[in-house]
Structure 1
Amino acid sequence: MRIDPLLTRSPVTGAVRHVTDDLLAEVYLAPLFPEFTLEDHLGLNAPWSDSFAAAPQETARAVEAGLVSLATASPNLDPSDLAPERLASGRARVHLAALRDLWRDLDALPTPLATWRQVLRSTAEMALEPLPLTGPACAFTAPAEAAVAARLAAHHGWEETAHLAPAGAEGTALRHLQENLGRRSGKVAVDSSVACHGLRDPREEAEFAAALARSLLDRGSVAQAGEIGLLVPDVSAYGQALADAFDRVGIPLSGLPVEAVRRDTTGELLSLLLVLLGGPVPRTALASLYVLPGMPWPPDIGRRMARELMDHGWSRTAAEQTGIARDFLDALRPCESPAQLFARLGVAARAVPQARLHPRIARLKAVIVETLDWPLLHRLAKPQPNAAKGYDRFVEGVSLFTENALPWRPVRQLMVLGMAGRHWPRLPGSNPFFTEGEIAEIRATGLLLSGRQQKLARGLELFRRQLGVASDGLTLLVPALDLRGDRLTPSTGLALVAHMLGAENPDALATELRKAPPQDWPVAYTRIDPVPQGGAPELPAGGMVHIQRGLATVDKPGVDLTALRKTPEGAPLPHSPSRLETLLTSPLGWLLDELGAKERAWAPETLDVMTLGTLMHQVLEDIFVEGALVPDGDSLTAKVPGVLDAAISRHAAWLAEAVWATERRSLLQEAMQVCTAWAGFLRDTKSEILHNEIALSGEHGGLLLHGKADCLLRLPDGRILVVDHKRSSAAGRRDRMSKGWDLQVALYRAMLERPTKDTALTRLVAEGAQVVTAYHMLRDGTVLSDAQGGDIPRVEATGENASANAMDHLAHVLAEVGAGAIRLNRAGDAEMSKERGIRAYALDNPLVAAFSLPDTPQEEDV
């Protein structure tokens, strides 16, 4: 492709303008061509048929790229220019013939090639206005471009001019680079005309460039900002960073887009709607819809709805919406027919009129008639970000030049950013159809298809010409990392520059700014005071943090931390056994949970421990119904699959998708084993199921408690067995109970013996019924209890004091947190919890780890 653009000089005014594709289309009355698409032509017998069947969209893009590269290499933009019969039999001949046949079948080309072909087929009399050409010849013009230029020259004439000479002073290193980059040349020593600095990443590059521009102006090295130029990669990371950095130093930046890249919020909304209407509804997709701009609820309400959904799986705020918002949310249900789909999309379009969904919906209607082709719908609705528009260029600002074009004015000082990775020159990609050897064979037939060698040569020449606009100095900036933190290697251009300036390698040429003394930096700097202790928190020596209201005094009582969470009426909320187990492991982790200070990352649904446990609990509840007979083996075989499907539909609808088929089979096998084992236990103990999912509430030591027992059984001797299903094996729980560190069984008993609500179960206890609490371990079918359940068949008793140590420690910690004191963890607490049989999940919190003390205990801070 050309480096110097085609220019035309008006014969009337002498004004020069670019010969753009739009201008050619207007002057030669190029017809409006329909949108170019290949999908309907690629599924037949062709070398890419299998690829198209597996990935139609990706294959279509590759075929279009291959077709465009061949058309650009053909001098007449005609498929007859392709001559596969001149090649030896083999892969290259097959692919070239297939692309030629496809071109003939299409009889169409994508813009701008279709416009070029119109010019080649036109006469001079068909042009609506004269377009006399001016400018230099270009050695990198593709054959099709050359043919168009020749036809325009034949129609209107061409005044050929010379390339601009490099602007650097004779004898300087800068001039040597401007004349010889990419060519054979000797080496010269580095002088003041060239500098190279190593920075951390694109953000730091932008900050340095702005500071250097400020320094050049303050020192008088340049008279005005317009004499400074920035050559920047076509990467979004640089645009906003440079705009912010130059704004902070008070220097205008000329060449930024008039309109920056904008989100296609209409496409985002339509894509999310199709995901939700296709079902099952992914949690992250619905949350993303809640926070999209322009929804029929205020932005803060949308954020609250999304947060509730991600935290709890549903949103109370969303359920409370009324009016048009309620209609919109009610329409987000899976569809089974085109009529349903477009009716619900219509509701969405009316609810969010500013999104202008109707034209996009009409496009979908045009391709969907009788059945819902979801892949096609998603492909048509895919968001297409609006590209940056125009350039805000003015005389007074620092000139911003882009990677793939010649600079638009000369400068005295040029800074080149991003001299690492695939830039300067941008490394060419591989041809989607032909290897480099095959491209050489095709070129030998006369079709000048560009390979990596030709593209790299063009990139180097473009870079050399870009460097040629600087007259006084060149500064190269080399980032070590990209914005993701991935390490970058020096660019090809930097390696060539280093070689031409006598450096052994690019690292020897670049001065690492952070390794140089600040007084040697070429820019002014501000030294930031170091963070004390390297950022580590200052912790009390004894490990106790005292929390008090207002100004702390020695005799002032601390805040009762057990009463932080309150009901809307102001009453303290009760605590669950799981929260108090966290308190045993880490008071700080417990406090963070009480305050809601926890990580709130968005993540898609996954088959984690919580989901697996929920599904198994639901299956047991629906199979073993209160008051019903225990099902036998045949009954279980018939019922469990349907019950599991219902549980999946209720709690994890996404698990019904085809990609989770293997996991569903594994879940069904597990559910059958769990139900068979539990049925055997119920028959052996002759237990009667009184209730499933029974709520418990009570108090212990003045602390309100609440919980939920999974199953309530009555034994033949009248005892009540309160069961908690645990989706794990017995080993860990057995170890914890035998060592006296199981808290839950004791708290369940406390809620039954000292209830705060009167229920049928608490009345049984009050009347003298003996209660045994137990765990049903689903992975191996073991039922564990303390000593009170030792004589029950198939129940394994773990000892008299299953909770003794846990309750003693709980009383001690509750006294501390009730007085506003938090004992910090120590580094060895994880191992200590393991010895007690407790899995210390609270210690996984990075904040807890950050505020942990060393193992060696010190005297407590009182």
Structure 2
Amino acid sequence: MRIDPLMTRSPATGALRPVTEDLLAEVYLAPRRPELNLGDHLGSGAPWSDSFTAAPDETAQAVEASLLALANATPSLDPADVVLDSLPAGRARSHVTALRDLWRNLGTLPGPLNTWRHVLQSRAADALEPLPLIGQECTFATPVEAALEQALRTHHGHADGPSPHAQSTEGSALRYLQDHFGKGSDPVAPDASVACYGLRDPHEEAGFAAARAQSMLDEGRVDHPGEIGLLVPDSAAYPMALRTAFDRVGLPISGLPAQGARRDGPGEVLSLLLVTLAGPAPRTALASLYISHGMPWPPKTGRKMAREVIDRGWSRTASNLTGTARDLLDALRPCHTPEQLFGRLGAIARATPEAGLHPGIASLKAASGDTLDWPLLHRLAAPGSVAAEGNDRFAEGVSLFTEAALPWRPVRQLIVLGMAGRHWPRLPGSGPFFTEGEIAMMRDAGLMLHGRQQKLARGLELFRRQLGVATEGLTLLVPALDLKGDRLTPSTGLALIAHILGAEEPADLVVDLRSEPHEDWPVAASRATPVPNGGAPELPEDGLIRIQRRVSTPDRPGVDLLSLRATEDGPLPHSPSRLETMLVSPLGWLLDELGAKDLTWAPETLDVMTLGTLMHQVLEDTFAEGTPVPEATELDAAIPGHLDAAIRRHAAWLTDAAWATERRSLLREARDICTAWADFLRKTGAGVLHNEIALKGEHGGLLLHGKADCLLKLPDGRILVVDHKRSSAGGRRDRMTRGWDLQVALYRAMLERPTEETALTRLVADGAQIVTAYHMLRDGTVLSDSQGGDVPRVETAGEDASVNAMDHLAQVLAEVGAGTIRLNHADDAGTFDKDRGIKAYALDTPLVAAFSLPETATEEDAQ
């Protein structure tokens, strides 16, 4: 591919114009061809057929790129020019043959090549106006580019062009670099004409470039901003960062895109709608849809709806909307026919006129058939970024040049950003069709495809030409990190420049400003005051945070940490799980009460909570209250239906075909659990009284609420309150043996001191003996304290499974009630596991970890 674009000078006006496809089509009256959809022609029988079946879009792109490369290697754009007689049989020949046959079948080519072929087949008299070319031939032109240039010169002749750009001072390091970059040469001593600085990342590069440009103006090294040039990588990050940095110092940039790169808003919304309407709707898709632009509700309402659906899987706020918003939400139901899909999409588009969905829906409808091809629809609706458009160029601004093009005017001082990673030159990759060895073999056979060697040589020459735009000075900026924080290595161009300037390694050339005092920087700079302790909080030595409690007044009640979630009806009760959090980390409990928790969006996943919920529901449906224990054949027949119902109710996303393996595993697990539970019920003679029993009570003046999974009546009249736990018995047994199980005691407290009368509390009041137990689903073990010791198949774990937990809870409640929060130590997780048998999940919160004291000192540490 040529470096210098073809340029023509008008004989009448002297105006310079690039020779574009549109200009050639107008001058030679080239016929317009319909846009080519290559995917419609990639059928069976070609070497890429299997790839096209698996990945049609990617394969079509690879075939199109290879077809264009093959066409560019032919001087007359005729498939007959592809002669394979000297190419040995093998993979390369079969692929070239298939590409040539595809070209013949198409009868046309993508891009400007059809116009070029028309020009090559035309006479000079066919042109409507003269197009005399200026400049010299390009050694990197493809065969067809060279043929097109030769045809135009034959038709229109030559014209005088502008004088070459001025070069830098003879004898300077910059001039030597401009003359010898990419060529073999002896090193030269560096001088002030070339400077190289290391920065942290592209944002810091942009700030330094702006300060460097301002200092050049202040020092008189340039007379106006137009004499400074910025050469930047082709990345959306650099123009945005440069705009901000140069606006800060008050310097205009000439060459920024007139319209910057932006997101494809309609494509994003349409893609989300397809995912939602295919059903079941993922919660992340619904949440993203709620906060999308153009929705018929205020942004604040959308954010609240998104937060609710991420937390709970549904939104109470959304259920209360009316009007147009209600119409949109009602349309978000799974579709099974094209008529349903496009009817609902149309209703949604009418409800969201600002979203601009009508063009995308029309395109989908045109490509749709009699049935819903969801993969095709998803591919067609997939959003992509909208590329930057236009160039805002004016004489007075700092010149912005981009990586893939020659600079559009000379400058006195050039600043090159991004001299790390794959830039300068951009390293060519390997194509999916041909190996480098095959390309070399085809070049020997006369088929002049460009491989990595030719592409790299062109990249080096382009960079040399770009460096040649500077007449007085060159500043190279080398980022250490990209915007993701990943470390970058010096670019190939920097390594070559370092060699030319006599440095053994690129690092020897770079002045790392991060290690230099600010007073030695070449620009004015300021450094933010370091955050004390590296940002770590200053924690009290005694590990206690004392929260000042406001004195209550009639119009301003005091602060009670135990009643932070109070409503108009009074404080909300605490669940055993919340109090277990308090037992492990009072700070973690306080943050949870305040709602200060991780709000990261995440898709549905088969985590411990979901697995537990599904197995609980299967047990509830399989062992219904008041029914006899099912026999083995009944279990086998009933469990699949019960599991499917549980999945549809609690995790509808699991119905997708991608989760088939997990569903089979869940079915095996559900059968094992239900078989073991049926065996327990038969051995004990217990009957199911109730499932999912709400419990409400109080302990030490603190309101409690919870839910027992199952209520069994034993033959001797005792009531067994069961909590199903989807885990093995080891950890729970250890906790109960050590006396640190809190839930057993809290269940008993709610039964003995209820705040709401139920059938269960009446049984307790009438003298029924209550036994609380855990059913461990992973191994079928049923654990209880000493009260369940004589129940068959029930394992006792200690005389009092909660004695230590209740004592410690009383101490923590007293401290928290007085406004004191005791901080954790960094090694508490290990201590809780070792000494108490508690998995301290509450300590996994980043805020709790950040406010943890150092590890506790041991006697060995003291010695």
TM range (shorter): over 0.9
Measure, in 1, the Cα distance between the counterparts of 2:500 and 2:302: 58
Structure 1 residue 270: deviation in Å?
1.2
SS at match of 2:159: strand
Measure, in 1, the Cα distance between the counterparts of 2:457 and 2:147: 22
Deviations 1:607-648 (A, max 9, x none): 111111011011001111111111110000001011111111
Instruction: Return closer, same or farther for 1:855/1:427 CA change in 2, 3 Å cut-off.
Output: closer
SS at match of 1:86: coil
SS at match of 1:85: coil
Measure, in 2, the Cα distance between the counterparts of 1:26 and 1:700: 89
Q: Which amino acid aligns with 1:20?
A: T
**Matches of residues 360-509 of structure 1 in structure 2 within 5 Å?**
360-509=360-509
The equivalent residue for 1:583 is 582
The equivalent residue for 2:730 is 731
The equivalent residue for 2:548 is 548
Q: Which amino acid aligns with 1:356?
A: G
Structure 1 residue 132: deviation in Å?
2.5
Q: Which amino acid aligns with 1:153?
A: R
In the superposition, the TM-score normalised over structure 2's length comes to: 0.96
Measure, in 2, the Cα distance between the counterparts of 1:358 and 1:165: 50
Instruction: Return closer, same or farther for 1:668/1:163 CA change in 2, 3 Å cut-off.
Output: farther
Measure, in 2, the Cα distance between the counterparts of 1:797 and 1:436: 72
**Matches of residues 288-299 of structure 1 in structure 2 within 5 Å?**
288-299=288-299
Measure, in 2, the Cα distance between the counterparts of 1:575 and 1:299: 33
The equivalent residue for 1:326 is 326
Deviations 1:375-407 (A, max 9, x none): 111111111322111111112211110001111
Q: Does structure 1 conserve the Cα–Cα contact (< 8 Å) formed by 2:783 and 2:796?
A: yes
Q: Does structure 2 conserve the Cα–Cα contact (< 8 Å) formed by 1:92 and 1:434?
A: yes
The equivalent residue for 1:264 is 264
SS at match of 1:699: strand
Measure, in 1, the Cα distance between the counterparts of 2:591 and 2:654: 32
Q: Which amino acid aligns with 1:573?
A: L
Measure, in 2, the Cα distance between the counterparts of 1:488 and 1:847: 31
Measure, in 2, the Cα distance between the counterparts of 1:248 and 1:394: 20
Structure 1 residue 712: deviation in Å?
1.1
Deviates more, 1:799-808 or 1:350-359: 350-359
Measure, in 2, the Cα distance between the counterparts of 1:437 and 1:763: 86
Instruction: Return closer, same or farther for 1:645/1:51 CA change in 2, 3 Å cut-off.
Output: same
Structure 1 residue 208: deviation in Å?
1.1
Aligned length: 854
Q: Does structure 1 conserve the Cα–Cα contact (< 8 Å) formed by 2:9 and 2:159?
A: no
Q: Which amino acid aligns with 1:497?
A: I
The equivalent residue for 2:113 is 113
Q: Which amino acid aligns with 1:237?
A: A
Structure 1 residue 588: deviation in Å?
0.6
The equivalent residue for 2:527 is 527
Instruction: Return closer, same or farther for 1:127/1:756 CA change in 2, 3 Å cut-off.
Output: farther
Q: Does structure 2 conserve the Cα–Cα contact (< 8 Å) formed by 1:166 and 1:178?
A: no
SS at match of 1:187: coil
Measure, in 2, the Cα distance between the counterparts of 1:804 and 1:296: 56
Measure, in 1, the Cα distance between the counterparts of 2:163 and 2:580: 78
Structure 1 residue 161: deviation in Å?
4.5
Instruction: Return closer, same or farther for 1:827/1:369 CA change in 2, 3 Å cut-off.
Output: closer
The equivalent residue for 2:603 is 604
In structure 1, list runs of 5 or more residues that go unmatched: none
Q: Does structure 2 conserve the Cα–Cα contact (< 8 Å) formed by 1:547 and 1:558?
A: no
Q: Does structure 2 conserve the Cα–Cα contact (< 8 Å) formed by 1:46 and 1:98?
A: yes
Q: Does structure 2 conserve the Cα–Cα contact (< 8 Å) formed by 1:631 and 1:679?
A: yes
Instruction: Return closer, same or farther for 1:749/1:103 CA change in 2, 3 Å cut-off.
Output: same
Instruction: Return closer, same or farther for 1:393/1:162 CA change in 2, 3 Å cut-off.
Output: closer
The equivalent residue for 2:861 is none
Measure, in 2, the Cα distance between the counterparts of 1:802 and 1:94: 76
In the superposition, the TM-score normalised over structure 1's length comes to: 0.97
Q: Does structure 2 conserve the Cα–Cα contact (< 8 Å) formed by 1:166 and 1:175?
A: no
Deviates more, 1:29-38 or 1:812-821: 29-38
Structure 1 residue 32: deviation in Å?
3.1
Structure 1 residue 359: deviation in Å?
2.4
Structure 1 residue 570: deviation in Å?
5.5
Q: Does structure 1 conserve the Cα–Cα contact (< 8 Å) formed by 2:74 and 2:82?
A: yes
Instruction: Return closer, same or farther for 1:685/1:468 CA change in 2, 3 Å cut-off.
Output: same
Structure 1 residue 163: deviation in Å?
7.3
Deviates more, 1:633-642 or 1:198-207: 198-207
Q: Does structure 2 conserve the Cα–Cα contact (< 8 Å) formed by 1:649 and 1:656?
A: yes
Q: Which amino acid aligns with 1:726?
A: K
Q: Which amino acid aligns with 1:171?
A: G
Structure 1 residue 194: deviation in Å?
0.3
Structure 1 residue 31: deviation in Å?
3.0
The equivalent residue for 1:511 is 511
**Matches of residues 781-792 of structure 1 in structure 2 within 5 Å?**
781-792=780-791
Percent identical? 71
Deviates more, 1:527-536 or 1:822-831: 527-536
In structure 2, list runs of 5 or more residues that go unmatched: 859-863
Deviations 1:402-454 (A, max 9, x none): 00111111111101111111111111121322222221222223322111111
Instruction: Return closer, same or farther for 1:163/1:761 CA change in 2, 3 Å cut-off.
Output: farther
Structure 1 residue 160: deviation in Å?
5.6
Deviates more, 1:307-316 or 1:111-120: 111-120
The equivalent residue for 2:765 is 766
**Matches of residues 779-858 of structure 1 in structure 2 within 5 Å?**
779-834=778-833, 835-856=835-856
Q: Does structure 2 conserve the Cα–Cα contact (< 8 Å) formed by 1:136 and 1:160?
A: no
Q: Which amino acid aligns with 1:424?
A: W
SS at match of 2:275: helix
**Matches of residues 699-778 of structure 1 in structure 2 within 5 Å?**
699-778=698-777
Measure, in 1, the Cα distance between the counterparts of 2:153 and 2:348: 55
Structure 1 residue 857: deviation in Å?
7.4
Q: Which amino acid aligns with 1:39?
A: G
Measure, in 2, the Cα distance between the counterparts of 1:642 and 1:43: 43
Q: Does structure 2 conserve the Cα–Cα contact (< 8 Å) formed by 1:420 and 1:491?
A: yes
SS at match of 2:85: helix
Say if 2:554 is the partner of 1:536. no
The equivalent residue for 2:16 is 16
Structure 1 residue 856: deviation in Å?
4.0
Q: Which amino acid aligns with 1:455?
A: K
The equivalent residue for 1:673 is 672
Deviates more, 1:156-165 or 1:823-832: 156-165
Measure, in 2, the Cα distance between the counterparts of 1:307 and 1:439: 55
Q: Does structure 2 conserve the Cα–Cα contact (< 8 Å) formed by 1:65 and 1:432?
A: no
**Matches of residues 279-358 of structure 1 in structure 2 within 5 Å?**
279-358=279-358
Measure, in 2, the Cα distance between the counterparts of 1:84 and 1:550: 91
The equivalent residue for 1:664 is 663
Measure, in 1, the Cα distance between the counterparts of 2:499 and 2:550: 67
SS at match of 1:822: strand
SS at match of 1:170: coil
Instruction: Return closer, same or farther for 1:459/1:412 CA change in 2, 3 Å cut-off.
Output: same
Q: Which amino acid aligns with 1:804?
A: V
Structure 1 residue 566: deviation in Å?
2.0
Q: Does structure 2 conserve the Cα–Cα contact (< 8 Å) formed by 1:166 and 1:179?
A: no
Say if 2:151 is the partner of 1:183. no
The equivalent residue for 2:635 is 636
Instruction: Return closer, same or farther for 1:405/1:855 CA change in 2, 3 Å cut-off.
Output: closer
Q: Does structure 1 conserve the Cα–Cα contact (< 8 Å) formed by 2:8 and 2:159?
A: no
Instruction: Return closer, same or farther for 1:707/1:29 CA change in 2, 3 Å cut-off.
Output: farther
Q: Does structure 1 conserve the Cα–Cα contact (< 8 Å) formed by 2:622 and 2:639?
A: yes
Deviates more, 1:657-666 or 1:773-782: 657-666
Q: Does structure 1 conserve the Cα–Cα contact (< 8 Å) formed by 2:704 and 2:750?
A: yes
SS at match of 2:602: coil
Deviations 1:679-700 (A, max 9, x none): 1111222222111111111111
Q: Which amino acid aligns with 1:719?
A: R
Measure, in 2, the Cα distance between the counterparts of 1:855 and 1:148: 76
**Matches of residues 195-210 of structure 1 in structure 2 within 5 Å?**
195-210=195-210
Measure, in 2, the Cα distance between the counterparts of 1:394 and 1:551: 67
The equivalent residue for 1:614 is 613
Q: Does structure 2 conserve the Cα–Cα contact (< 8 Å) formed by 1:559 and 1:819?
A: no
Structure 1 residue 805: deviation in Å?
0.7
Measure, in 1, the Cα distance between the counterparts of 2:300 and 2:26: 49
SS at match of 1:707: strand
Deviates more, 1:802-811 or 1:154-163: 154-163
Q: Which amino acid aligns with 1:701?
A: G
The equivalent residue for 1:135 is 135
Structure 1 residue 147: deviation in Å?
1.9
